[in-house]
């Protein structure tokens, strides 16, 4: 039997995360991001620098749009060091891998970059659809494992809260692994299929239309039923006697609505099921679903009661339409006041098309959210709370992979960033499980020294610009300009 010491002789120990892999020469660790290259621990992805807009296109990263410095501490037209490929500060006491200085219009600036190991992280997902995907608080699952839940709906969108430390570390091992994998794929803009308890199957991919129960969404609603009535009432006046805009939340009725009143549209005698809120606005006309306007109906006439015979009349023209214009039907009342389907007149066709034209494309938005804890802050300064105060005092700018990060108010440094603004493949993982994500802190050199930063580790940017650096002129969401570094091993050779 081989001596364990002999088996370990050609291996080095990676200290980039708590797993502490032993890696043989020519192989990578469990995260696929660090490897043993001739006895030296190397990062497989090169450090990424964003170089701003080029003649071929405009940078998608917000702070790369300007030409002259207007006081922003992070500004385009100059190379910006991101933390993608930088490495980590684990086990916390080490300074950040790159602390880079650069003069901007005579002001000495410092950017501190590190790849944070985030156990306290997750994703907030916005799905532009009126379709029912599940009740609020319903559990969201991937491969049968719970990874999050449905949140409060927003205007024209469903919201998910995914990940978090409770799912990453608070459940079983499989739950943690599945959650970590789903978050990694979502944040790297890959498609993830998930199911909602007692709800729908949804495929989510950042920047792409959601697929709900196998059907790809096209349009985000222009507004609720009442808002649609208000926006397009003038297009219907004189061309139709009644319009009902079917919506799961607020169904609108033109003749009762204030817009109809002001346009002198007479009462039609048509009555709508549901709970009347204010004139022309009805709640709960049907159950939520994947049909008209986010309801469970396929036949719009099912939300109508018997018309008032003292008001309704033969030949009354009725348009029923959804909040995206994708579903619509035209009827005329016969002698028994029953709606009879009829061809849609050209002027009403134009109004239906106008509703659709005013709807934005249905997309999925994925926002990475995480708390920057001890290891990140200690990598910047020996007195971590000073970094927190500097961020809150707007002396330090926080970005993630060069993308603008929103810092939540209150204690700590809790950041949220749109993953589509970041370089592709910005995220990694460690099998603890946790996500690895880039984060940068940019501030004046004088402020960095004042907060107790690792001033002896500051390097001029000229020392960082090398052939191994991956440069990005702009971020193109339609392609993947962020090809991985050539230094990779076949999967079956990795440990």
The answer to whether residues 472 and 481 touch, using CB atoms and an 8 Å cutoff, is yes
pLDDT at 51: 67
The answer to whether residues 220 and 153 touch, using CB atoms and an 8 Å cutoff, is no
Positions of the chain with pLDDT lower than 70, given as ranges: 1-9, 51-78, 92, 374-375, 467-495
Which phi-psi region, left, alpha or beta, contains residue 429 (left: φ > 0; alpha: ψ -120 to 50)? beta
Given the DSSP bridges, would you call strands 406-407 and 157-163 parallel, antiparallel or unpaired? unpaired
pLDDT at 37: 80
pLDDT at 354: 96
Alpha carbon distance, N-terminus to C-terminus of the chain = 21
The answer to whether residues 88 and 17 touch, using CB atoms and an 8 Å cutoff, is yes
Give the residue among 40, 128, 18 at the shortest CA–CA distance from 363. Answer: 128
pLDDT at 86: 82
pLDDT at 374: 66
pLDDT at 21: 83
Q: In this predicted model, what pLDDT tens digit does every residue of 87-135 receive, in sequence order?
A: 887 776 788 888 999 888 788 999 998 888 898 999 999 999 999 999 9
Question: Crossing angle of helices 346-357/225-236, nearest 10°?
Answer: 140
Residues 6+ apart with CB under 8 A from 59: 50, 52, 53, 65, 76, 473, 474, 475
The answer to whether residues 487 and 37 touch, using CB atoms and an 8 Å cutoff, is yes
The answer to whether residues 365 and 418 touch, using CB atoms and an 8 Å cutoff, is yes
Max Cα–Cα distance, the chain, nearest Å: 98
pLDDT at 56: 32
How crowded is the C-beta side of 277, counted as CA atoms within 13 Å? 15
Residue 107, CA distances (Å) to 102, 143, 285, 444, 489 in order: 8, 52, 62, 7, 43
Residue 327, CA distances (Å) to 91, 248, 285, 330, 363 in order: 57, 14, 16, 11, 20
pLDDT at 473: 56
Q: In this predicted model, what pLDDT tens digit does every residue of 220-233 receive, in sequence order?
A: 999 999 999 999 99
- Domains of the chain by residue range: 43-120+373-493, 121-216, 225-357
pLDDT at 464: 80
Which residue carries 């719970």 as its tokens? 146
How crowded is the C-beta side of 191, counted as CA atoms within 13 Å? 11
Q: Distance (Å, rounded) from C-alpha 345 to C-alpha 352? A: 11
């Amino acid at each position: 039997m081989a001596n364990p010491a002999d088996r370990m002789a050609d291996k080095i120990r990676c200290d980039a995360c708590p797993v502490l892999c032993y890696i043989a020469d020519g192989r990578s660790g469990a995260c696929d991001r660090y490897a043993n290259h001739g006895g030296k621990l190397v990062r497989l992805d090169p450090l990424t620098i964003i170089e701003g807009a080029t003649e071929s296109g405009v940078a998608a990263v917000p702070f790369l749009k300007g030409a002259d410095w207007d006081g922003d501490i992070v500004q385009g037209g100059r190379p910006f060091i991101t933390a993608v490929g930088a490495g980590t500060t684990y086990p916390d006491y080490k300074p950040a891998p790159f602390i880079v200085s650069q003069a901007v219009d005579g002001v000495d600036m410092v950017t501190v970059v590190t790849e944070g190991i985030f156990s306290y992280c997750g994703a907030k997902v916005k799905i532009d659809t009126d379709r029912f995907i599940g009740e609020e608080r319903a559990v969201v699952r991937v491969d049968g494992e719970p990874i999050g839940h449905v949140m409060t709906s927003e205007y024209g969108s469903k919201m998910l809260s995914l990940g978090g430390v409770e799912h990453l570390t608070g459940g079983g091992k499989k739950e943690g692994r599945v959650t970590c994998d789903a978050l990694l794929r979502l944040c790297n803009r890959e498609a993830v299929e998930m199911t909602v308890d007692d709800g729908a199957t949804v495929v989510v991919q950042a920047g792409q239309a959601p697929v709900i129960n196998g059907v790809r969404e096209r349009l985000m609603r222009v507004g609720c039923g009442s808002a649609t009535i208000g926006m397009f009432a003038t297009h219907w006046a004189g061309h139709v006697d009644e319009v009902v805009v079917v919506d799961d939340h607020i169904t609108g009725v033109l003749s009762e609505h204030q817009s109809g009143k002001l346009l002198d549209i007479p009462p039609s005698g048509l009555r709508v099921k549901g709970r009347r809120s204010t004139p022309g606005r009805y709640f709960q006309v049907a159950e939520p679903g994947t049909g008209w306007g986010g309801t469970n109906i396929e036949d719009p006439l099912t939300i109508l009661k018997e018309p008032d015979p003292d008001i309704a009349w033969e030949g009354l023209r009725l348009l029923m339409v959804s909040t995206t214009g994708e579903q619509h039907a035209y009827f005329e009342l016969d002698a028994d006041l029953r709606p009879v389907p009829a061809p849609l007149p050209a002027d009403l066709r134009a109004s239906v098309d106008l509703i659709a034209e005013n709807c934005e494309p249905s997309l999925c938005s994925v926002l990475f959210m995480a708390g920057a804890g001890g290891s990140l802050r200690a990598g910047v300064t020996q007195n971590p709370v000073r970094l927190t105060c500097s961020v809150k005092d707007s002396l330090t700018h926080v970005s993630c992979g060069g993308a603008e990060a929103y810092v939540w108010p209150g204690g700590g440094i809790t950041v949220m960033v749109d993953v589509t603004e970041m370089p592709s493949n910005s995220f990694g993982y460690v099998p603890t499980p946790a996500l690895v994500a880039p984060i940068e802190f940019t501030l004046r050199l004088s402020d960095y020294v004042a907060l107790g930063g690792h001033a002896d580790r500051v390097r001029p940017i000229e020392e960082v610009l090398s052939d191994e650096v991956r440069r990005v002129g702009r971020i193109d969401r339609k392609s993947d300009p962020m090809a991985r570094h050539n230094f990779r091993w076949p999967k079956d050779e990795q440990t």
